[in-house]
Amino acid sequence: MDRTEHVHIISAGEKIAIAYPAMFRELPGISRTVVFTDSIVHDGSSDPVTYKHRFTVRNAVMTVQQISASLSIPFVQVMIYPPAYVSVRSALAKIRREYPDARYTFDLSGGSKELCLALFAFAPWLGGEVYAAFDEKIARRVPLPDRAISSLFANPNHQKILAILLNKREMKKEANKGAVPTASTVPTLWVPRQYVYKQLWSTYVPSRTKKPKPGNPPKPVVQYKKGRKPAPELSHQTFSGFIGTLRDAGLIDEENVPGNRKEKTYRITEAGEIAFRFFSDPATSSLVKSMLESS
């Protein structure tokens, strides 16, 4: 089986002939195109508006087929009959059996509500990436939670890091509110590593506490500045572990500081913000609660 197979699934709508070639800028590796079409599109109608819509959708599907042929990309049209949920489930299961190792992407910018909802519901089962135009001119990716993401939030430090990044972003936006966007006034969403570390340090919660070995003298009591509470030391190695987990889950982005390869900066991703707002516990910290209430 070719592990580079990339199946792109489209819900048929009036503008898919415009959206399809545009998607190649975002998804240049598409190797197979499947258009899911509501069966009713091929029915006649005495209503002029309905007839025109169905005619336009059929022509759009034909244009996508022609574009695929010009690019030597195999094209398949799948007819979806009511109930859409069952029909889509059967069709996707068949495709999954034929291409078990493929990458799956979905463009759900067109089609009926029932068709789009069914495709959206089954996309995570294929590990699919979903795109939709909504009210915008171009399709953008819709973040889908990984099944394991919610378990990451059992560690309160992960929640706090996301809250720190989200809070810093909102602070920068507020500081530049009303300003004419220029290269100097557009707020950067990247936050230095040292800033995130210092912010987490004061409220760090260890996942496990090491017991002192018998015979070892107790560690000296550290004097903290006013407003800082005593807490077990947060090592940079432990902090890097938190960052790596969030980065690998797609919840934050990491980048080197220009001109300094040793310094890192971070920003929360759209998926990270959605996961934070869905899975964080407001009892974790006052900052987490504040950011959740700001949504």
What pLDDT is attached to residue 274? 83
- Do residues 134 and 169 both lie within one domain? no
Question: In this structure, are strands 32-38 and 260-268 parallel, antiparallel, or unpaired?
Answer: unpaired
pLDDT computed for residue 133 by the predictor: 80
Name the pLDDT band for 246 (thresholds 50, 70, 90): very high
Based on the domain organization, do 288 and 222 belong to the same domain? yes
Lowest-pLDDT range of 109-118, 176-185, 229-238, 271-280: 176-185
Q: Is 137 exposed, middle or buried (0-12, 13-18, 19+ CB in 10 A)?
A: exposed
**What share of the chain in percent tops pLDDT 90?**
63
The pLDDT value recorded for residue 217 is: 55
Model confidence at 175: pLDDT above 90: no
* Residues 92 and 163 placed together within one structural domain of the fold: no
Length of the chain: 295
Q: Which residue has the higher pLDDT, 64 or 182?
A: 64
> In this predicted model, what pLDDT tens digit does every residue of 136-169 receive, in sequence order?
567 888 888 766 777 899 999 999 999 999 999 8
> For the domain that residue 264 is a member of, what is the CATH number?
1.10.10
Q: Give, in order, the Cα–Cα distances in Å from 20 to each of 25, 31, 204.
A: 10, 13, 47
Question: What is the pLDDT confidence band of residue 89, given thresholds at 50, 70 and 90?
Answer: very high
State mean pLDDT over 51-71: 97
Q: Which of 291, 295, 271, 274 is nearest to 282 (CA)?
A: 291
Asked whether residue 236 falls in the same domain as residue 200, the answer is yes
Residues 128 and 231 in one domain: no
Domain boundary among 111, 142, 173: 142
What pTM, to 2 d.p., does this model score?
0.63
pLDDT of residue 174: 77
Band (186; pLDDT cuts 50, 70, 90): very low
Within a domain: 208: yes
Taking residues 223-231, report their average pLDDT: 48
Decide if 173 is inside a domain: yes
How many separate domains does the chain show?
A: 2
134 with 156, same domain: the answer is: no
pLDDT at 76: 98
Residue 258 is predicted with a pLDDT of 80
- 13: domain CATH number is 3.40.50.11700
3-state SS of the chain is CCCCCEEEEEECCCCHHHHHHHHHHHCCCCCEEEEEEEHHHHCCCCCHHHHHHHHHHHHHHHHHHHHHHHCCCCEEEEEECCCHHHHHHHHHHHHHHHCCCCEEEEECCCCCHHHHHHHHHHHHHHCCEEEECCCCCCCEEECCCCCCHHHHCCCHHHHHHHHHHHHHHHHHHHHCCCCCCCCCCCCCCCEEHHHHHHHHHCCCCCCCCCCCCCCCCCCCCCCCCCCCCCCCCCCHHHHHHHHHHHHHCCCEEEEEECCEEEEEEEEECHHHHHHHHHHCCCCCCHHHHHHHHCC
Q: By CB neighbour count within 10 A (0-12 exposed, 13-18 middle, 19+ buried), where does 134 fall?
A: exposed
* Mean of per-residue pLDDT scores for the chain: 86
End-of-domain residue from the set 122, 142, 162:
142
- Cα gap 212→227, rounded to integer Å: 27
1 within some domain: no
The answer to whether residues 89 and 122 touch, using CB atoms and an 8 Å cutoff, is: yes
272 and 137 share a domain? no
Residues 201 and 268 in one domain: yes
Say yes or no: 272 and 223 in one domain: yes
Calculate mean pLDDT across residues 32-42: 97
Per DSSP bridges, beta strands 32-38 and 140-142 are: unpaired
| Residue 273 belongs to a domain | yes
The pLDDT, as a whole number, for residue 209 is: 44
Asked if residue 170 and residue 108 are part of one domain, the reply reads no
CB 197 within 8 A of CB 160: no
Place 179 in a pLDDT band, splitting at 50, 70 and 90. Answer: low
Query: What integer pLDDT is reported at residue 43 of this predicted model?
Result: 92
Residue 21 corresponds to which tokens in the numbers above? Answer: 């070639």
In a domain, 28, yes or no: yes
Q: Do 33 and 95 sit in the same domain of this protein? A: yes
Give the domain extent around 116: 6-142
The reply to whether 166 falls in a domain is: yes
Task: Kindly state whether residues 212 and 101 are assigned to the same domain.
Answer: no
CB neighbourhood size of 106 (10 A):
27
Domain boundary among 142, 159, 181: 142
Tell me how far CA of residue 261 lies from CA of 115, 125, 190, in angstroms: 48, 39, 15
